[in-house]
Amino acid sequence: MENIKKKILKELNTKYNKDILEMSDFSYPPNKEMGDLSMPCFKLSKELGKTPVELSQELVKDLGDKFEEIQSLVAMGPYLNFFLNKSMLFKEIFKDVSKKTEGFGTNKSGKKKRVMIEFSNVNTHKEYHVGHLRNISFGDSVSRILSANGYDVLPVSYINDFGIHTAKTLWAYNEFYKRTLVPSNKGAFLGEIYVRASKELENNEVGKQTAAFIMKKIESREGPEYELWKKTREWSIKQFDAIYKELGVKIDHVFYENEFIDEGIKQVTEMLKKGILKESDGAIIADLEEYNLGVMVFMRSDGTALYPVADIPLAKYKIEKYKLNESIYVVDNRQKLHFKQLFKVIELMGYKQKLVHLDHDFVTLPDGAMSSRSGNTVTYEQLKEEAFKKSFDETKKRHEDWPEYKVKEVAEKIIFGAMKFEMLKVGSDQVITFDTDQALRFDGYTAAYLQYTYARIASILRKAGDFDKKSIDFSELKEDKENILVIKIAKYSEVVKKAAEDYNPSEIAKYLFDLAQSLNDYYHSVKILKSGEEEKKARLALVFSVQNIIKNGLNLLGIDTMEEM
């Protein structure tokens, strides 16, 4: 679709000797009876001094026989509507699909600009829960989408391993678990301890003072408290690494808060000298009132450091070390003001790189909100275990003849796909209510539905055997439902580009679901394998292209496909 748009633009801009029109001036008619592509003539009419209606009628005559990809042109009031030659259009698309396969739909619009995307900024010594899945799925998918658009992407994580929560967990460990046999998943064990620590310390002043003392010992990097912190910190890090591995999430580098806090304190002194920061009632702040951003506190009056103290040297290090064009932070929407303030301070320091806060809303359970402190969460481990059991039992029921390893392999792909898709199928500004039963359904707006559509096409292609992809008569595709599929296939590249422009994986998810629905509708109404030889080849090329797009699109969401389900 993009190629035909470019041809039309070149023709019109050359005709009028002006670069008036651009790709964004095209739109799609609300229904197929009105055409496959539309161009409003308002912008042209303003430039040329003609009414949009006159211009659309004039262009029907001028463009009528210019392109073999255009079957007919219709002036509909101020709109010029194009009916495309579907066989010509699909011939070009299929050539691309066959040649590029996994690369189909990608582009070079990013021009190798270096972008760092920071996500999965979890805390050590706490549980990894369903809410974290949204952040990691979102960040990983945006990373993949930007890469598909030609950006040089560096996915990283920033771990808070130095907060008071670590001291609270260690306090509870010493109080209640010191002689307990540590389970194999030590990171999840720490999460349980943190929940207990939060409850036990609510009305325990002595405990709070002890936790504060432990924090000071950690910050001083000495004593048995610091040694225990180092040991238990590794428990969390190993759990995070295991989760990234099984989710197939790529993280190029992990930064830790403790690595930047000392440098941050030095930079606070420098920023005071430069007037970027100032003292106020014993605290050190960035006064951003003139930018309507209030006050950002760096150091409390008691000398303790807040998050910006480490955030600033980290931002500086990332920009300078990696020569970034753009730095993206994927953090929930509670931190909107923090990042507006942070970005303004970074700008005042003289950095001009593009800084983006990709915020997202929360994940809730069907029975209400989640909270780490209260323990009202579904941890990652609990969710995985529950979902796997359901998926394994359902897969086993469908394929009693399969060996257990194959059932397990398919069941795992289904659950990891389900967990990610539920986090990506809606816009980041929407709250997600995670329901395991709904997520694993093979019908409806789910990953399993898309994976099953892919497997169904794989079955068709296996039964058909190899077909000659070089000598296909695409004019054999005469059915209305085939034309609908061709147009939808033609839009895939644009969807990939738009998803990058908006940092929005849900664009991909919605498109894939719509495409899969059309394919399944087509499958139920047309006998693909029982068609005549030439017709069958054209139809196999069509479903092969849909299969390729589903695989590529799901890959952009971080989701695997399988040949059988």
- Can you spell out the DSSP letters for 154-216? EEEEEEB-SSHHHHHHHHHIIIIITTSPPPS-HHHHHHHHHHHHHHHTTT-HHHHHHHHHHHH
CATH number at residue 216: 3.40.50.620
CATH number at residue 433: 1.10.730.10
pLDDT score of 383 more than 80? yes
Judge whether 236 lies within some domain. Answer: yes
Distance (Å, rounded) from C-alpha 288 to C-alpha 295?
A: 5
pLDDT value of residue 366:
81
pLDDT value of residue 368:
61
pLDDT tens digits, 237-278: 999 999 999 999 999 999 999 999 999 999 999 999 999 999
Judge whether 71 lies within some domain. Answer: yes
DSSP structural state of residue 530: T
Same domain, 251 and 231: yes
Same domain, 234 and 266: no
In the chain, % of residues over pLDDT 70: 98
Same domain, 535 and 424: yes
Same domain, 335 and 387: no
Q: Which domain, by its residues, includes 537?
A: 380-556
Same domain, 265 and 334: yes
CATH number at residue 63: 3.30.1360.70
Judge whether 365 lies within some domain. Answer: no
pLDDT tens digits, 157-197: 999 999 899 999 999 999 999 999 999 999 999 999 999 99
Same domain, 187 and 237: yes
Judge whether 541 lies within some domain. Answer: yes
Judge whether 373 lies within some domain. Answer: no
Band (pLDDT 50/70/90 cuts) for residue 376 is low
User: Of 223, 257, 291, which one is at a domain's C-terminal end?
Assistant: 257
pLDDT value of residue 62:
87
Same domain, 408 and 491: yes
Same domain, 277 and 331: yes
Distance (Å, rounded) from C-alpha 169 to C-alpha 472?
A: 66
Given a contact cutoff of 8 angstroms between Cβ atoms, the answer to whether 124 and 161 are in contact is: yes
How buried is residue 321: exposed, middle or buried, by Cβ count under 10 Å (0-12/13-18/19+)? exposed
pLDDT score of 216 more than 50? yes
Same domain, 214 and 293: no
pLDDT tens digits, 476-506: 999 999 999 999 999 999 999 999 999 999 9
User: Of 62, 84, 106, which one is at a domain's C-terminal end?
Assistant: 84
Same domain, 342 and 389: no
pLDDT score of 12 more than 80? yes
pLDDT tens digits, 399-414: 999 999 999 999 999 9
Judge whether 369 lies within some domain. Answer: no
What is the arithmetic mean of pLDDT over 539-564?
98
Residues 6+ apart with CB under 8 A from 281: 301
Number of H helices, E strands in the chain: 20, 13
Count: domains in the chain = 4
Band (pLDDT 50/70/90 cuts) for residue 156 is very high
User: Of 257, 292, 311, which one is at a domain's C-terminal end?
Assistant: 257
pLDDT value of residue 369:
54
Judge whether 106 lies within some domain. Answer: no
Strand, helix or coil at 358? strand
Given a contact cutoff of 8 angstroms between Cβ atoms, the answer to whether 451 and 561 are in contact is: yes
Band (pLDDT 50/70/90 cuts) for residue 372 is very low
Q: Integer distance in angstroms from the first to the last C-alpha of the chain?
A: 33
Same domain, 269 and 245: no
What is the arithmetic mean of pLDDT over 336-358?
98
pLDDT tens digits, 61-114: 988 788 888 999 999 999 999 999 999 999 999 999 999 999 999 999 999 999
What is the arithmetic mean of pLDDT over 417-433?
96
Same domain, 267 and 253: no
**Type and span of the H or E element at 512:** helix 506-525
pLDDT tens digits, 303-344: 889 999 999 999 999 999 999 999 999 999 999 999 999 999
List the structure tokens of 403: 């060996």
From residue 562, alpha-carbon distances to 119, 225, 416, 532, 536 in Å are 28, 48, 13, 29, 24
Judge whether 221 lies within some domain. Answer: yes
